């Protein structure tokens, strides 16, 4: 119940946006445009707004284009061959193929198909009402954009929290991995690995949120001043993704290390634990407001401490899995320094020299 309630709370503002957009779209289409039954105007507004936090502007444009394509093809097709079982099937094929050819987005494709079917079944060309659906789509789509601009979601806060949640899972997994190495507990490391692998959907959501926030910062005057912070968060997405991927490799090789009973320097286990603590510092930095602590400089100092400890003597005489864990610690440190705003080459330069390749990024 707590999880369900949290989902409702997190989606409450988009729900309010949809409700306001639906009412305003109906009013405009019915009272101003003069459409007696503008059923699609509120639907178009809700679809263009949605309850997700992705690209709303693109969704609105796709919706309008999809409706226009579907109605145009439907009018032309039905006026030539009529309606029926095989006609509707072929009509859907034509409408969807045309939409995919034009763009390929899911909204434009499904709207083209549904509009074409509507023309073939409920609103035949001779009724003279099919063009009103295009007007409804235009009204609803534009209302959706205006509502998003007038009642906007904060373009930075949600993305910041999502990035922090991902870092939270990553930091705990590294700490649990250190415990697993110390206790020679493969099960604990495996659980940590599964937790990090589960962050991929969070990364995808983060990218979608950042794209939606970018649109909000463009169309809403309330958040024009958030553009710089949003762009900074957008720059964080790729190194954060890399850090998660490298952490997965580290955990997988740590699991192999324990299962194969490889020799392990206790200092390497301590480095994994310290890396987990540094990740938590980066998480706090991401959540901190501008001017608050810890800032990027504080997080970078902690990461530099971890980097200084990642020296080649930690894996003298060790097996291949220990060498990979060592290399991945260094890789994750470089990724996290980029999350803190450092350039990649500058981050690599802070690592202690080693005979082995100092910076590897195996594919997970």
How far apart are the C-alpha atoms of 343 and 27, rounded to whole Å?
52
Q: Give yes or no: residues 342 and 216 share one domain.
A: yes
Residue stretches of the chain with pLDDT short of 50: 356-364
How far apart are the C-alpha atoms of 229 and 217, rounded to whole Å?
10
Q: Give yes or no: residues 115 and 189 share one domain.
A: no
Domain presence at residue 318: yes
Q: Give yes or no: residues 170 and 109 share one domain.
A: no
Q: Give yes or no: residues 202 and 323 share one domain.
A: yes
- Given 123, 150, 177, which residue is the final one in a domain? 150
Domain presence at residue 162: yes
How far apart are the C-alpha atoms of 16 and 148, rounded to whole Å?
10
Q: Is residue 138 within 8 Å of 94, Cβ to Cβ?
A: no
Retrieve residue 352's tokens.
Answer: 């202690």
- Given 150, 173, 194, which residue is the final one in a domain? 150
Helix (H) or strand (E) holding 202: helix 200-219
Read off the DSSP letter of residue 28.
Answer: I
Q: Specify the pTM.
A: 0.71
Q: Give yes or no: residues 176 and 28 share one domain.
A: no
How far apart are the C-alpha atoms of 278 and 363, rounded to whole Å?
23
How far apart are the C-alpha atoms of 358 and 356, rounded to whole Å?
6
Domain presence at residue 364: no
pLDDT at site 85? 83
Q: Give yes or no: residues 136 and 84 share one domain.
A: yes
Q: Give yes or no: residues 221 and 145 share one domain.
A: no
pLDDT at site 128? 57
Q: Is residue 175 within 8 Å of 273, Cβ to Cβ?
A: yes
Mean pLDDT of the chain: 83
Helix (H) or strand (E) holding 32: none
Return phi, psi of residue 112, to 5°. Answer: -60, -45
pLDDT at site 224? 66
Domain presence at residue 355: no
Domain presence at residue 363: no
Retrieve residue 87's tokens.
Answer: 């006609």
Q: Give yes or no: residues 256 and 123 share one domain.
A: no
Return phi, psi of residue 124, to 5°. Answer: -65, 155
Report how many domains make up the chain: 2
Three-state DSSP class for residue 197 = helix
Comparing CA positions, the residue from 138, 100, 134, 135 lying closest to residue 115 is 134
pLDDT at site 171? 95
Cis peptide before 294 (omega within 30 of 0): yes
Helix, strand, coil shares of the chain as percentages rounded to 5? 80, 0, 20
pLDDT at site 364? 40
Q: Which residues contact 321 (CB under 8 A, 6 or more apart)?
A: 253, 254, 256, 257, 260, 262
Handedness of CA 44, 148, 238, 250 (dihedral sign): negative
Q: Give yes or no: residues 133 and 165 share one domain.
A: no
- Given 128, 150, 172, which residue is the final one in a domain? 150
Domain presence at residue 78: yes
pLDDT at site 63? 73
Q: Which domain holds residue 73?
A: 2-150
């Amino acid at each position: 119940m707590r999880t369900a309630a949290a989902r409702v709370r997190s989606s409450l503002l988009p729900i309010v946006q949809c409700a306001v957009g639906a009412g305003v779209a109906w009013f405009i289409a019915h009272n101003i445009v003069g459409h007696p039954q503008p059923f699609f105007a509120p639907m178009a507004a809700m679809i263009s707004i949605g309850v997700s936090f992705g690209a709303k502007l693109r969704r609105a444009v796709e919706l309008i284009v999809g409706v226009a394509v579907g109605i145009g093809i439907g009018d032309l097709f039905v006026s030539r061959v009529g309606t029926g079982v095989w006609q509707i099937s072929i009509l859907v094929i034509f409408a969807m193929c045309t939409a995919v050819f034009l763009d390929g987005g899911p909204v434009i494709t499904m709207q083209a198909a549904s509009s074409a079917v509507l023309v073939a079944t409920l609103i035949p060309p001779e009724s003279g009402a099919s063009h009103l659906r295009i007007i409804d789509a235009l009204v609803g789509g534009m209302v959706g954009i205006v509502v998003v601009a007038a009642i906007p979601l904060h373009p930075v806060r949600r993305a910041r929290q999502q990035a922090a949640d991902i870092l939270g899972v990553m930091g705990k997994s590294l700490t649990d991995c250190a415990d697993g190495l110390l206790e020679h507990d493969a099960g604990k490391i495996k659980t940590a690995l599964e937790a990090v692998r589960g962050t991929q959907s969070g990364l995808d959501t983060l990218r979608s949120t950042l794209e939606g926030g970018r649109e909000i910062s463009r169309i809403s005057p309330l958040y024009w001043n958030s553009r710089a912070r949003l762009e900074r968060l957008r720059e964080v997405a790729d190194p954060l993704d890399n850090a998660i991927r490298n952490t997965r490799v580290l955990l997988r090789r740590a699991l192999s290390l324990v299962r194969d009973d490889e020799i392990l320097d206790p200092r390497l286990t301590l480095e994994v634990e310290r890396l987990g603590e540094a990740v938590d510092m980066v998480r706090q930095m991401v959540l901190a407001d501008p001017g608050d602590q810890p800032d990027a400089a504080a997080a970078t100092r902690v990461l530099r401490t971890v980097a200084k400890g990642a020296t080649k003597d930690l894996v003298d005489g060790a097996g291949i899995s220990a060498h990979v864990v060592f290399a991945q610690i260094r890789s994750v440190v470089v990724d996290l320094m980029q999350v803190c705003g450092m350039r990649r080459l500058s981050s690599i330069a802070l690592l202690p020299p080693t005979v082995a390749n100092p910076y590897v990024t195996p594919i997970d």
